[in-house]
Amino acid sequence: MSLAMRLSRGGSKKRPYYRIVVADSRSPRDGKYIERIGSYNPLLAKDSDERVKIDVDRAKHWLSVGAQPSDRVLRFLDAAGIRERAARNNPNKGEPGEKAKERVEEKATKAADAEEAKKAAEEEAKAAAEAPKEEAAPAEEKPAEEAKPEEAKAEEAKSDEAKSDAAPAEEAQPEEAKADAPAAEEKPAEDNKAEDAKADDAEEKAEG
């Protein structure tokens, strides 16, 4: 039978109290034990003498017969000067477990994705803000450039209208002149008739 020197839990929920016992290593932690050699109350202050109590003589006896103390009990024995505990170097102490590492990696991935999405949104916003400015500049210049040909066309249209108006006027003048010319020619004919009539009257009077 192998002997173990270990802690056996007692007390109530959230108020633990431990017994330092010597028991068969195959028995349950809180099961039957061979002898109780001390106590440990973690609720007391670390500098309290009542925190850890050990029967030094019984502890030495059980160690002499081959009882193997657990790491926690060995700490208590070292503090009491019963057995020295060799210093241990645990390079993985304080290192998170696999699940903790997975959670950290997942958080880092989410943070990286969020940062990329944020940058993409900022770039889209900048592009959207710059696009209207670039399009607005040519839009403002085009009317000015297009206005000149339109004005030139308008001026040409006006000049054409002026020419078209002037041409009929020039053409109308000869027609009017022609219309007035016969009238001018007719007047001498009427005057001749009047003179002939006067001459006839004068001849009639002379014959009479």
Q: Which pLDDT belongs to residue 190?
A: 52
The model's pLDDT over 18-65, given as tens digits with 9 standing for 90+, comes to 999 999 988 888 888 999 999 999 999 988 889 999 999 999 999 999
Sheet holding 3-12, edge to edge: 52-54, 35-40, 15-24, 3-12, 68-69
pTM, full prediction? 0.43
Q: Which class is domain 3-80?
A: alpha beta
- Least confident stretch, 66-80, 130-144, 174-188: 174-188
Domains of the chain: which residue ranges?
3-80, 91-172
Looking at per-residue pLDDT, the higher value among 80 and 173 belongs to 80
Record the tokens describing residue 104, joined without a space.
Answer: 């950290």
- Least confident stretch, 69-83, 84-98, 127-141: 127-141
